[in-house]
A and B are shown apart, each in its own frame.
Chain A
Amino acid sequence: GAGVSQTPSNKVTEKGKYVELRCDPISGHTALYWYRQSLGQGPEFLIYFQGTGAADDSGLPNDRFFAVRPEGSVSTLKIQRTERGDSAVYLCASSLLGTGGGDTQYFGPGTRLTVL
């Protein structure tokens, strides 16, 4: 079946602009996660949804970052007033149960965001 998909694959924007990144999880997966990966580093957690609600948003770096999942499937990560430090690869993952532990997370290919 289809895996996790993310659009766009690449996004170049100017400092101060607003961007939206989209994630389509695996069908039937109740949990959705956003991570950010800087060059040469492991992914860092941003936010986790269980169904439509954000169950844990403790990884969002500041209030310029916001994410929604209105129907419990597709999610959009929104970044306001982008800064050069926001440049990274943004990864989305989904899992069947969202229980953590051994509940495997499946990752999309990522969106590479470049802020000029």
Chain B
Amino acid sequence: GDSVTQMEGPVTLSEEAFLTINCTYTATGYPSLFWYVQYPGEGLQLLLKATKADDKGSNKGFEATYRKETTSFHLEKGSVQVSDSAVYFCALSRDTGRRALTFGSGTRLQVQP
């Protein structure tokens, strides 16, 4: 079945550091890929998405590129802020078979001033 694997956290960075959170997936066909973020005390929010190979999703300074050859969708940000502290979830969805999202286990990011 489908699966998503994320790097384990917590990831602790200083403000303005470069961020990478690794995400790889296993799925049949050509899934769409998502990053969702969960800020403390809040619900899941879509951060960015990509629907086909080589697409780059971007939002709020975060970027991720859909790499089919490595089945990866790594999240990056050039300069993190304290306000980026949250849990980040990588997920996939297919347009055939199961339509629901398959999530990774989440990566907690802590940014220190």
Which A residues are closer than 8 A to B by beta carbons? 31, 33, 35, 40-45, 48, 55-56, 58-59, 91, 93, 98-110
A55 touches B106 (CB 8 A): no
Contacts A42-B89, A42-B106 known; list 11 others, CB within 8 Å.
Answer: A40-B105, A41-B105, A45-B98, A45-B102, A91-B43, A102-B32, A102-B51, A102-B93, A107-B45, A109-B43, A110-B43
The 0/1 profile, CB within 8 Å of A marked 1, for residues 20-60 of chain B is 00000000000110101000001111100101000000000
User: What are 14 inter-chain pairs, A to B, with CB distance below 8 A?
Assistant: A35-B100, A42-B89, A42-B106, A43-B44, A43-B101, A43-B103, A45-B98, A45-B101, A56-B98, A56-B99, A91-B44, A98-B99, A100-B99, A101-B32
Query: Is B96 interfacial (CB-CB < 8 Å)?
Result: yes
Query: With A and B bound together, what is the CA distance between A42 and B100 in angstroms?
Result: 13
- Which residues of the other chain, B, contact A40 by a CB distance below 8 angstroms? 105-106
Tell me the residues in window 69-113 of chain B with beta carbons closer than 8 Å to chain A beta carbons. 89, 91, 93-96, 98-106
